[in-house]
Amino acid sequence: MRTTTVHRIVLPVAALVLAATGCTQGTDDASAKGQAASEVCGAFAKEPRVASALEAVAGKGVRLTSDRSEPDRVVGELRKAARTPQSGKKRMRGIPFCTLEAAEDGKNVLSITLREALAVPGSDISKGFVTVYATGRLATSSDLYAAIYFTCRMPAPAHTIVLDAELERADENEADGPGIRDEQIVLANAAARHLAGELGCADTGLVEGVPAKARP
């Protein structure tokens, strides 16, 4: 009788210990899911100022996932574009260099795409609705969107092409603020510089750090 009683007590206690251990491990796995802002998409935002800009958009300390990003495809397609004769080229669709979602709830954060541009738009395009910055050949930022056009001269036999880095911010992340256009251009510029390094671009005109607002 006494042995039976001991087994009846010990087994439920063991079950409770296992259950508690399982819950703890699940919690740790959930907290470890995703990456920090400085680590996503090939660590293009590893510089403190760039990581800070990404946190301003995504949220302080938010863990991020970039499963829908295709950085290797971006590099491959743009190298191919630089070896393709200019005649007969068509407008390239944007390739997702970095598409970010919040790891906790899957909420969209932003997407940065790269493509070859057939031409640089006039600097007066949408004048009054965008903020213009001094980096690349043309850089603009609006409430949910930023774009940087820059030249990429790759080693021969490639020829010089114009690239367009476009950032689109999801309006559902509620990151609006007085400096949000600056944060967006910092991120687009960092992505453009990262890609230019991967491609071996020269003469990009992309500045380091934070692009200054262009004078009227």
**146-178 pLDDT, tens digit each:** 999 999 998 888 889 999 999 999 875 566 677
With bands split at pLDDT 50, 70 and 90, how would you rate the model's confidence at 11? very low
What is the rounded CA–CA span in Å between residue 22 and residue 20? 5
Say what the pLDDT of residue 186 is: 97
Say what the pLDDT of residue 179 is: 87
Sign of the Cα pseudo-torsion (124, 128, 130, 134, in order)? positive
Instruction: Kindly state the helix (H) or strand (E) to which residue 110 belongs, with its residue range.
Output: strand 108-117
pLDDT at 106 over 80: yes
pTM of the complete model:
0.81
pLDDT in tens, 61-99: 899 999 999 999 999 999 988 888 877 677 788 999 999
With bands split at pLDDT 50, 70 and 90, how would you rate the model's confidence at 105? confident
pLDDT in tens, 17-44: 434 444 444 434 544 589 999 999 999 9
Dig out the tokens for 211 from the structure: 């692009």
Say what the pLDDT of residue 27 is: 38
3-state secondary structure 10-63: HHHHHHHHHHHHHHHHHHHHHHHCCECCCCHHHHCCCCHHHHHHHHHHHCCCCC
Tell me how many degrees the CA angle 187-165-68 measures, rounded to the nearest 5. Answer: 80
Say what the pLDDT of residue 37 is: 93
Say what the pLDDT of residue 15 is: 43
pLDDT at 48 over 50: yes
Average pLDDT, the chain: 83
Say what the pLDDT of residue 156 is: 80
pLDDT in tens, 108-133: 999 999 999 988 987 665 566 899 99
Q: Which amino acid is at 49?
A: R
Q: Which residues have C-beta within 8 Å of that of residue 159, sequence separation ≥ 6?
A: 82, 83, 86
